[in-house]
Amino acid sequence: MNAAGEIAGALIALAWLVMGWWMVAVGRRRSGAAAAWLPIVGTIVDKHGDTEGLLLRNPHVRYVAPDGSEHEVPSKSRGDIWSPGQPVDIMVNPAEPGQAILATHAGRAQVYLVVGWFIIVVALLTFIGAALLAWATPH
């Protein structure tokens, strides 16, 4: 009996399932923001880090919400494509004006959903393969 192979297959499938579920959750959150939140223009305030190059993290965005309040939030962007003072398109939650997301992040929601569901299908097929290994292998 190949118990190690069955257990390994099940653990690999579980890891795929968790990763797929996470990607679908991110995609749903971003698609909700893209559908219901209001588009406005914000300004990059700083790069929030003392390193240069690709290690720059989380530039902050300052914007005036539709209700007139001013906010500064982290962009959650990990790339080195923003400069302080640069205008950026963002999406703001009308119910909570202090909540914002970069429009480019909201636009990638579909990719997260498609890849996430693909990974979930792969996880299910891996579970089936592990089960077939357990039942079809002669003892």
What are the structural domain ranges in the chain? 3-136
CA distances from 30 to 101, 110, 115 (A): 8, 9, 14
For residue 39, what are the β-bridge partners? 91
pLDDT tens profile 47-95:
665 445 555 567 788 999 888 889 988 877 766 677 788 898 988 988 8
3-state class (DSSP) for residue 104:
helix
The pLDDT score that the predictor gives to residue 120 is 94
